[in-house]
């Protein structure tokens, strides 16, 4: 087998994203790079499925390998998402503080998400939460975005070398009267 380099692009603008999904992996915060496959950024060709390797210039200017991922076929002008694994200096913890029966077929859960940043700079972490059936967030310590019928996200700013906490109450089942605004 012989490997052939298809494309090399340097200086491509990327967006680094931190994601915490505590119900699926209780401690790990995942790191993803997102970039646009655009000609203006030195790319802009259809990318076949395969491995993509990411390098970053070290303090002495040499390229340092920081990760690789497999991508699917990606047309030009589309987003490419490269998973770099887990952050070693950002941690998360998710706790269900209480569960209450709110009716014959409904319940409420009080949930706490604690994120800790051990980096010397502030970052933002997307805390992903999942719900099923008919659900509503009735109380929350910060705004969230409903992504789809069973997923919602909190964008949590984390200070340098510091923690942040999100708390919310999830009502699963029908509510009496109109649902709270989301």
How many CB atoms are closer than 10 A to CB 111? 20
- Between CA 136 and CA 109 the distance in angstroms is 11
Please name the fold of domain 89-172.
Answer: Immunoglobulin-like (2.60.40)
How far is C-alpha 145 from the geometric centre of its chain's CA atoms? Answer: 13
35-60 pLDDT tens trace: 888 888 878 888 888 888 888 888 89
3-class DSSP state of 104 = coil
Tens-digit pLDDT string for the chain (182 aa)? 666 666 777 777 889 999 999 999 888 999 999 988 888 887 888 888 888 888 888 889 898 888 889 999 999 989 989 999 999 999 999 999 999 987 888 899 999 999 999 999 999 999 999 998 899 999 999 999 999 999 999 999 999 999 999 999 999 987 654 555 55
The domain spans of the chain are 32-84, 89-172
pTM recorded for the entire structure:
0.82
- Is residue 81 a contact partner of residue 33, using CB atoms and an 8 Å limit? yes
| Residue 22, burial from CB neighbour count under 10 angstroms (0-12, 13-18, 19+) | buried
CB atoms within 10 A of CB 127: 24
């Amino acid at each position: 087998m012989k490997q052939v380099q298809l494309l090399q692009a340097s200086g491509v603008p990327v967006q680094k994203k931190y994601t915490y999904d505590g119900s699926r992996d209780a401690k790990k915060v995942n790191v993803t790079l997102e970039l646009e496959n655009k000609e203006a950024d030195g790319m802009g060709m259809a990318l076949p499925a395969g491995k993509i390797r990411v390098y970053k210039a070290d303090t002495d200017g040499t390229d340092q390998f920081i990760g690789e991922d497999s991508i699917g076929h990606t047309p030009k002008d589309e987003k490419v998402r490269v998973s770099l694994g887990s952050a070693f200096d950002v941690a998360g913890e998710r706790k269900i503080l209480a569960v209450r029966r709110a009716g014959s077929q409904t319940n409420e859960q009080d949930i706490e998400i604690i994120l800790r940043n051990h980096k010397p700079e502030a970052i933002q972490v997307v805390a992903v939460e999942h719900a099923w059936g008919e659900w509503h967030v009735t109380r929350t310590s910060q705004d969230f975005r409903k992504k789809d019928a069973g997923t919602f996200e909190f964008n949590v700013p984390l200070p340098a070398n510091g923690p942040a906490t999100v708390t919310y109450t999830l009502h699963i089942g029908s509510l009496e009267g109109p649902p709270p605004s989301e």
